[in-house]
Chain A
Amino acid sequence: MSQVRRLPRKNAAASKPTTGSVALLTGTRKGAFILRGDRSRRTWKLSQPMFLGHIVHHLVLDPRDRRTLLAAARTGHLGPTVFRSTDFGKTWQEAKAPPAFPKVPEGQKGLVVDHVFWLTPGHPKEHNVWYAGTSPQGLFRSEDGGHTWESVKGFNEHPLRRQWTGGEQDGTPDGPKMHSILIDPRDSNHLYIGMSSGGVFESTDKGASWAPLNKGCRADFLPNPEPEYGHDPHCVRLHPLNPDRLYQQNHCGIYRMDRAEGRWVRIGENMPKQIGDIGFSLVLHPRNPEAVWVFPMDGTEVWPRVSPGGKPAVYVTKNAGKSWIRRDKGFPKAQAWWTVKRQAMTADAHEPVGLYLGTTSGELWASRNGGSRWTCFVRHLPEIYSVEAAEL
């Protein structure tokens, strides 16, 4: 993995800032919303709710056509499904065959998808390919734009899957999850996944085989704090302009990996000790692989999972984690006991970069200047599960 490989031309183009309008695709515990911004990103128009009453874990635009949306949805009672829109959310069609584990022979206990948690559009050269990650941990692939989904056998039926992922109790309170499905822009066969629990895994053959990639990352909740797998990455990101640079916000801190080194380095050790380096979300600068934003939460004692001290703040590093700067202008100064889930913080590709985060209390906050100042521009939404910035 250490050899230098050339980026496709399309990725080189991604090094230029965008100037168009941005839409925020927002999944909540009670439905999905789209916010359309103007070109200045000062004013936003909130859509009516879509799938009202559904739990929408992820709402994602296909960057290959900038028109197609996929939504991962379920209700409290009904099973999981995926909806697809080819007109940016005006009309929706349900998947003909949503992600589902293979049926096992009578008498055996088979896996059941509880919810689809994560959606990733395929490689730019693989038109209509999508990946989905589920709870419990499962990987699924669609080759027809999300109409039908196939189980990725190389993971879902791997003889070690049960060992890698642990049991159903080894995950987040609402179920163990597969997330952070990443595709190397240089090679559509090269995939990464993150699992809570399980850790980070890598495939170089489009999911046929997998290997753990957790060296250097701690799992201090296990008897052996440095196991080969069983970790709890909350959010893993790959930089599109330097795909050999990975970052992760983990249950046990903030980490960076340069593939040539092959080892995770805990860059969260450089965060202020009273804040710590626990959180869910992690956002990369679209053009600078050295710049990362995180939103720390209280991970002490019983893990309150709220802003430390009730004082929300984003922290940014501009040197790949050597040092961190607090960015809290505009946020409440006290008594704000919310946090930001792993899919609920994102960036646009403007200059300066726009940052957006959705809170567990149903607020959307934006910064048009890389986090220097924050403004709340939507209130009273349901609990926000995901926010994706879509360049229109």
Chain B
Amino acid sequence: MTVHIPSPLRSYTGQQAEVNVNGSTLEEVLATLDQRYPGLRFRIITEQNTIREHIRIFVNEQQAQDLMTALRPDDQIHILCALSGG
């Protein structure tokens, strides 16, 4: 499946805006992403396995609430930085 990477995280992916990763849950996809791009996961997921306050993860057009969200091979995953900051 395709994972869309926001610009603040592209220093981890070699500036790639999209990467292809397999997994049956969001947890598995993020684990694979972190293996491939070490450090990326902790910037968006806390040590208590929750999505960080200013990060949103969408599976297709649905916002994922937790990491156990089930995935299908053709899903599009968007990691987004919430509208916040200053």
Contact = CB atoms under 8 A, between A and B. Distances in A.
Interface of A: 53, 75-79, 81, 94-96, 98, 100-104, 109-113
A112 B54 CA distance: 14
B14 interface: no
Contacts of A96: 38-39
A331 B50 CA distance: 48
A113 B84 CA distance: 19
A382 to B, nearest CB: 12
A138 to B, nearest CB: 10
A103 B54 contact: no
Contacts of B50: 112
Interface string B52-86: 10110000000000000000000000000110111
B19 to A, nearest CB: 17
Best-buried of A76, A98, A100, A109 by chain B (most CB within 10 Å): A76
A103 B38 CA distance: 19
A236 to B, nearest CB: 27
A78 B8 contact: yes
B48 A112 contact: yes
Nearest to B47: A100
Given A76-B85, A78-B8, A78-B9, A110 B48 contact: yes
Nearest to A98: B42
Nearest to A75: B8
B49 A103 contact: yes
Contacts of A102: 47
B43 A79 contact: yes
Contacts of A103: 47-49
B41 to A, nearest CB: 9
B84 A76 contact: yes
B24 interface: no
Contacts of B81: 77-78
B44 interface: yes
B48 A79 contact: no
Contacts of B9: 78
Contacts of A79: 42-46, 52
Interface residues of B, number: 21
Contacts of B55: 77-78
Nearest to B84: A76
A78 B47 CA distance: 13
13 contacts: A77-B8, A77-B55, A77-B85, A78-B8, A78-B52, A79-B46, A81-B43, A94-B38, A94-B39, A96-B38, A100-B42, A101-B47, A112-B48
**Which 8 interchain pairs have the tightest Cβ spacing?**
A76-B85, A100-B47, A78-B43, A77-B81, A110-B48, A77-B54, A112-B46, A79-B43
A33 B22 CA distance: 40
A103 B42 CA distance: 13
Contacts of A113: 46-47
A309 to B, nearest CB: 29
A110 B47 CA distance: 8
A72 to B, nearest CB: 14
A95 B38 CA distance: 10
A78 B81 CA distance: 8
A122 B50 CA distance: 32
A24 B84 CA distance: 31
B42 A81 contact: yes
B86 A76 contact: yes
A113 B54 CA distance: 14
A81 B38 CA distance: 12
A49 B16 CA distance: 24
Contacts of A104: 48
